Amino acid sequence: MHQLKIAAALLCALTAGQVAAQATPAKPAAAAAKPSSGFLPPASASANVIDSIAVVVNDEVITRNEISARVRAVEGAMKSQNAPVPEAADLQRQVIERMIVERAQMQLAKEMGVRVDDTMLDRAIGRIAEQQKLSVQEMRNQMEKSGTTFAAFREEIRSEIMMQRLREHEVDNKIQISDAEVDTYLAAEKAAAADKVEMNLAQIMVRIPENASPEQIAARRARADDVMRQLRTGGDFAKIAATYSDSSDALKGGEIGWRAADRLPPLFSDALGKLKPGQVTPVLKSTTGFHILKMVDKRNLADASAPAAVQQTRARHILLKVSPTMTAADAKRKLTELKERLDNKAAKFEELARLFSNDGSASKGGDLGWLYPGDTVPEFETVMATLKPGELSDVIETPYGFHLIEVMERKSDDQNKERVRMAARQVIRDRKLEEATEDWARQVRDRAYVEFRDENK
């Protein structure tokens, strides 16, 4: 069931990327037929150039038309959110850098054999539509009315899934947390329990290239100092972030969002602990660059040092997965038949689970054991929460197939010591993951061959 939880997190990431995908206009038909050089043949030298190469990233190109389309999309999104829009040249520079990073990561994903087939893509798009309470066709109609092709949207979602899988392989799976780190974290939590706060943050980050020379580091420090001077003389933080920041959140005004101090690197939390809402830190140097953080707001949190009582559910299920030999219609029909047999007391749940379930729990009669909130994906947990002990669900669908669920029993239990340690481990992992992902993205960008082409060439 842990895999179901991962799918839910992925869907959130896909949904977050949807706005940019919807705002990206379709490429002109003529652009699709252009020569690989991006220019018209010499024989048509007197005609207007319809597109040209702006940037070469390893063995691929980014054209000026692609950049213009992305700039329009980003500018439109920022205006719709009433976010300050930087000067045209600064906005274009930020967009180009973001496109270079995306292209380099996609190339790495392809090199490593990351693939997303059409079946998986269709299911992801179906879940996005369902989250918006639309059918896929209704979502498609809305996109096409706004000038976005459904094919372009599909490829955007395919890219999102590929990059998510790449990050999981390159970053997530390499994060390690020792028992000593958990012990240190829990001790610090206990000491700070009386004064827990959560902070709403924004940042400006000036990136240091990998293997930078002392001269490069000095130049980046000078840039960060210049940004700080602008802030001290009354400059708007969000606009300056959108203009100068090298972080992926630059075009959101540097907005990071709400973070507890324990989810931040010590470098940041120590500096922020002295600030009031509206104030900014001095320039801070990390392994990835120079940072300026703004304390947008802060709030006190309830004392969370004592484990809270939570409800556990013991449940079992029968899962039928869709496959070349089992269509979705077949799976629903089969489970409906099994439910009728169970309702009529013509069979026992555990016997049917052993015979038909495609889940690893089949050998245990479908028994999933005691589940905590969050152990399963929302589609499963929502239905399970509505059932009384001994009650059988209707056929439901999750990202992994179709299920019949039966709740066996429930109990309220204080989170035991191991559960508290698991929660602490997750907090430490989240903190490390954010730093590691930023560092990995920087390395991928710095190792890519990037050539900027003069518009007149």
Give residue 24's pLDDT band: very low, low, confident or very high (50, 70, 90). Answer: very low
Helix (H, G, I), strand (E, B) or coil at 123: helix
Average pLDDT of the segment spanning 2-22:
38
**Per-residue pLDDT tens over the stretch 60-111:** 999 999 999 889 988 888 888 888 888 999 999 999 999 999 999 999 999 9
Average pLDDT of the segment spanning 119-141:
89
Q: Residue 443 above 60 pLDDT? A: yes
Percent with pLDDT over 70 in the chain: 85
pLDDT of residue 19: 35
Paired tokens of 263: 């989810």
Give alpha helix (H) positions in 112-149: 118-131, 136-145
pLDDT of residue 366: 94
Whole-angstrom Cα distance, residue 153 to residue 431?
32
Q: Residue 133 above 70 pLDDT? A: yes
* Model confidence, pTM: 0.48
Give residue 2's pLDDT band: very low, low, confident or very high (50, 70, 90). Answer: very low
pLDDT of residue 342: 94
pLDDT of residue 400: 84
Give residue 447's pLDDT band: very low, low, confident or very high (50, 70, 90). Answer: very high
Q: Count Cα atoms within 13 angstroms, Cβ side, for 214.
A: 0
Chain centre to alpha carbon of residue 209 = 24
pLDDT of residue 212: 85
**Per-residue pLDDT tens over the stretch 253-293:** 889 888 887 778 888 888 888 889 999 999 999 888 899 99
* From 23-27, 227-231, 383-387, the region with the lowest mean pLDDT: 23-27
| List of residues 6+ apart from 173 with CB closer than 8 A | none
Average pLDDT of the segment spanning 136-141:
91
For residue 350, give the nearest of 319, 318, 321 by alpha carbon.
Answer: 318
Give residue 37's pLDDT band: very low, low, confident or very high (50, 70, 90). Answer: very low
Average pLDDT of the segment spanning 216-238:
93
Mean pLDDT of the chain: 82
pLDDT of residue 131: 83
Average pLDDT of the segment spanning 171-199:
81
Average pLDDT of the segment spanning 3-8:
38
Whole-angstrom Cα distance, residue 445 to residue 208?
11
Helix (H, G, I), strand (E, B) or coil at 317: strand
